[in-house]
Structure 1
Amino acid sequence: MTNRPEAETSTYAVVIPAYNAAATIATALDSVFAQTVPAAQVIVVDDGSADGAQLAAVLAAYGDRVRLVRQANAGPAAARNTGARLCDSEWIAFLDADDSWLPHKLERQLELGRDPRAGLLHGNARERRPAPPREMDFATLWECNRICTSMTVVRRRAFEALGGFDESADLVGAEDYHLWLRIAHAGWRVLACQELIGHYTPAYGSITSRIERCARAELYNATTLGERLRVPQAQVEAKTRAIRTDFGQHLLHARRMPEARHLLTQALASRMSLRGLGLWSATFVPAPLLDLRRRLRNG
């Protein structure tokens, strides 16, 4: 990897995929235009929204500062790729239409980007949450994805070399994690601003709220990418077991007992654990009793 001139590394484009986002897009865009380091390009990709006319009306208020691109619905990965192909800046900053940035976000991140080995920059997106590690290698990132897509900035050269986001329908909900792992595996540094740099506020009904679909995508990601990158089988098995246990717990909290029990049974079949066994047992408890316990615990 060769270093680029300092002036070039300070340029970035913003890509915002939008699906039925007319109600939230203004907040996202206002946070972009409030940055202490201005963007060279701002591209909104309408991914076949039902509210496309309303979205266009909102964007019209920003004039030629925002470029609107429309496509038939193809999912978030395809929308981000469409926007990225139109970028010519050194960095591509991704922002979902229901999230927002703090004004200093890009200024802080581009300071980290002076390192020519930096390929992916991110940062803290929630208050009262532990700050992400200053740096994550592939092994650390494989253990757990602590990267919020709306806080990411990717070096365009790395993005293009790796082919961008995988648009497979089986990956919807994990396509971002899939790319982060490939970036780390390719040898690029993954660096984080540990301070709060934005707000992750997913809209009701967003992909991240669809537990079962995300679980399937995470499992597909772990098994297929594990094989592709030759991750040791024991690590792949540990990863899939953790995914089934974690999503089983999410489903239990949502009181989706049969679905939770199914995932937890699979996890326990792989390896018995006290945590998994406790969660599995809880799926047989009547939901009103679990709700009562939750109320008592929360005071």
Structure 2
Amino acid sequence: MPKVSVVIPTYNRGEFTIHAVESVLAQTYKDYEIIVVDDGSTDHTEELLERYKDRLRYVKQENQGPSAARNTGVRLAEGEYIAFCDSDDRFLPEKLEKQMEFIERNPECKFLYTWYYNVNNQGEYTKLRKPNTCNSNEHLQYFLFIRKFTIRTSTLLIHKSCFEKAGLFNEKYWYSQDWDMWLRLAAYYRGFCLEEPLAEYWLHGENRSSLSVRIYHPEIIESTRKLYGWDDQKIAELGEKYGKRRKQGTQSPSKNARNGSNNTDVKGDKSG
């Protein structure tokens, strides 16, 4: 059995998917499997992947959305740990090796994310994203829920048992499904951050458009408040405990948590 299962969900992104696959094949850590879940592509994704058929598992399903594709990969995974590489992202060569070394040094870690680079169409690094390092479940919950801090899916390495406790991705969400998943994971596990860029997030026309319409579903906000047992007073207390002083005229933490945010996940990744 492989130690790590790398799940690559894709939909009509043939060329991008090839680059994602090759970035995994280039890993210095070799005890892994690759599962490509094709969510009903109508382009030439399947044909492009034919030359890799001996080095990965390819599964095609009817188009059901990104959550369903990720869940299919999780269910098929044979590894103890699961990593995701979205089809328009790429791993840097030492990603899995450095994450597994971190986990060996910190055996209590079940949920590990890293820094990453934004990359433009010309392949140039445009920004280094540094998600916050949090020292407790509550600290991570604060950044995820109140500050709308987003963890880039392709930086994660998660013990498979975490999904048994927190559940899988909610398949009715086509946007914010990752935010919802991390909020639920944070109810049970402290997220650890490896403070080194180990993945690339490629920004192009298609995903820029999806970022611009990203929303935070009110039902996610309400279900999370219930899961955490947070009322407005608790949210305000967390804002005082962890938050920086807001500029005059900005929303209070409790109001922001009730109403959600129109921030994109790029904005949500900003530290501080």
Match of 1:121 in 2: 112
Instruction: Give CA-to-partner distance per residue, 1:61-115, whole Å, 9 cap, x none.
Output: 1132111111111111110000110112110000100110110111111122233
Match of 1:141 in 2: 144
- For residue 19 of structure 2, the aligned residue among 27, 45, 48 is 27
Q: CA separation of 1:150/1:202 partners in 2, compared to 1, >3 Å: closer, same or farther?
A: farther
What amino acid is aligned across from residue 27 of structure 2 in structure 1? Q
Structure 1: distance between partners of 2:217 and 2:111: 20
Q: Secondary structure at the match of 2:110?
A: strand
- The root-mean-square deviation of aligned C-alpha atoms, in Å, is 2.3
Structure 2: distance between partners of 1:11 and 1:109: 12
Map residues 59-208 of structure 1 onto 2, 5 A cutoff.
59-114=49-104, 115-126=106-117, 128-135=127-134, 137-142=140-145, 143-168=147-172, 171-186=173-188, 188-206=189-207
User: Is the contact between residue 14 and residue 39 of structure 1 (CA under 8 Å) also seen in structure 2?
Assistant: no
Moved more, 86-95 or 140-149: 140-149
Instruction: Give CA-to-partner distance per residue, 1:248-288, whole Å, 9 cap, x none.
Output: xx9xxxxxxxxxxxxxxxxxxxxxxxxxxxxxxxxxxxxxx
Match of 2:220 in 1: 221
User: Is the contact between residue 173 and residue 207 of structure 1 (CA under 8 Å) also seen in structure 2?
Assistant: no
- Which TM-score applies when normalising by structure 2? 0.77
Moved more, 190-199 or 118-127: 118-127
Match of 2:232 in 1: 233
Q: CA separation of 1:210/1:139 partners in 2, compared to 1, >3 Å: closer, same or farther?
A: closer
- Which TM-score applies when normalising by structure 1? 0.71
Structure 2 gaps, min length 5: 118-124, 236-253, 268-272
Structure 2: distance between partners of 1:220 and 1:174: 11
Structure 1: distance between partners of 2:78 and 2:55: 16
Q: Secondary structure at the match of 1:23?
A: helix
User: Is the contact between residue 7 and residue 70 of structure 2 (CA under 8 Å) also seen in structure 1?
Assistant: yes
Q: CA deviation at 1:15?
A: 0.4
Matched length: 232
Moved more, 70-79 or 120-129: 120-129
Instruction: Give CA-to-partner distance per residue, 1:17-49, whole Å, 9 cap, x none.
Output: 110011211110110011110242110111011
What amino acid is aligned across from residue 147 of structure 1 in structure 2? I
Instruction: Give CA-to-partner distance per residue, 1:217-259, whole Å, 9 cap, x none.
Output: 4444223322333222353532244614x46xx9xxxxxxxxx
Larger RCO (alpha carbons 8 Å, 6+ apart)? 2
- For residue 43 of structure 1, the aligned residue among 35, 38, 54 is 35
Q: Secondary structure at the match of 1:132?
A: coil
Q: Secondary structure at the match of 1:68?
A: strand
Structure 2: distance between partners of 1:55 and 1:23: 7
Q: CA deviation at 1:203?
A: 4.1
Quick one: percent identity of the two aligned structures? 31
Q: CA separation of 1:20/1:163 partners in 2, compared to 1, >3 Å: closer, same or farther?
A: same
Structure 1 gaps, min length 5: 1-7, 251-299
Q: Structure 1 residue runs of 4+, over 4 Å off?
A: none
Bigger radius of gyration, 1 or 2? 1
Match of 2:240 in 1: none
Give 1 or 2: higher helix fraction: 1
What amino acid is aligned across from residue 83 of structure 2 in structure 1? A
Q: CA deviation at 1:208?
A: 6.3
